[in-house]
Amino acid sequence: MVVITRIFAVFSLSAAISCSSDSASTPDAGTMDTSSDATSTAEVGAVACTVFFGRPTAKTGLTEDQCKPACDCGGRSFEAAEFDAARLERMAALQWANPASELASDPYGEPAPPVSGVCGILVDGASYTTASYASTAEAEAAGAVVSHSGLCGVCSSLQDLAVYATNIDLTTPVRQCGILGITQGEEANLQCLLDLGFTKPCAQVWYYNTVHTRTECQEPCIRLLNAPYQNADGTLNECLLCDEEKSGPVFKAIAGRTRRNSGLASALCRPCEEVLPLSHDY
């Protein structure tokens, strides 16, 4: 019984933080944005921002004075895009003309491919296509709206964007999916993720990220099962940091979209320097 309880605890928390890189890196899930469009304090010649970007909840561990859905420091000033009913309805009405293929195998069996660049959305009437570009300037020259930094991946759709944008903290529902995975298996876990609104390929990479984090981060994730996501100084707790370092790179490369590289404010607060501000006007 003790062994089963320990496995359950790891799986539940791993599911909750999948793509915390998010998350993922992803998260939510991914690692720090390394695309050519990322702006660092070194580039603007300013001190690092002292307020983080996000929407803290009781589980975050930071106050609203420490983390806000806006940044105004280091030569950068922006606010998180808001997704009202009209915007979400518009996005839902658009059909993905070149949808991602389902994953044929666990992507964690291979090294993470490069992610430099941006993913753009090209709207054509009632449909849209996703396309990768070397830079924001190249995407805009092609008539595309930049949707996230890094190359397009299996979570780059507007449907997956809507799931990220409307769930400040995916911890609880993804944890419930992880519980189903333990008791009923992989298909139940995937169906649970699909029920959250994810496309099938995106749900798959979330699932594989969860399994990988469970394997790589068992000890700190058991120990910090009920700990705040972040320490008082804003750094991630050891479990989330392990997820970000061990699972984040592959998640970000395969998923494409994470909340951070889409400029979305979530319960995981991030340094302003790591966020690419986007309007999401499609």
- CA–CA separation, 163 vs 145, rounded Å? 19
Q: How confident is the model at residue 115 (pLDDT cuts 50, 70, 90)?
A: confident
Higher pLDDT, 225 or 56: 56
What whole-number distance in Å separates Cα of residue 262 and Cα of residue 163? 12
Give tens-digit pLDDT for 19-78: 445 543 333 333 333 333 343 333 334 456 899 999 999 999 999 999 999 999 888 899
Q: Measuring CA to CA, which residue among 204, 199, 196, 154 is closest to residue 174?
A: 196
Mean pLDDT in the chain?
Answer: 85
The answer to whether residue 111 scores a pLDDT higher than 70 is yes
Task: Encode pLDDT of 129-171 as tens digits.
Answer: 999 999 999 999 999 999 999 999 999 999 999 999 999 998 6
pTM: 0.84
- pLDDT tier for residue 98 given thresholds of 50, 70 and 90: very high
Q: What is the CA radius of gyration of the chain?
A: 18
Model confidence pLDDT, tens digit, residues 171-182: 668 777 877 887
Residue 117 has pLDDT above 90, yes or no: yes
Q: What is the mean pLDDT of residues 227-254?
A: 95
Looking from the CA of 59 toward its CB, the CA atoms found within 13 Å total 16
Q: Cα separation of 280 and 157, whole Å? A: 12
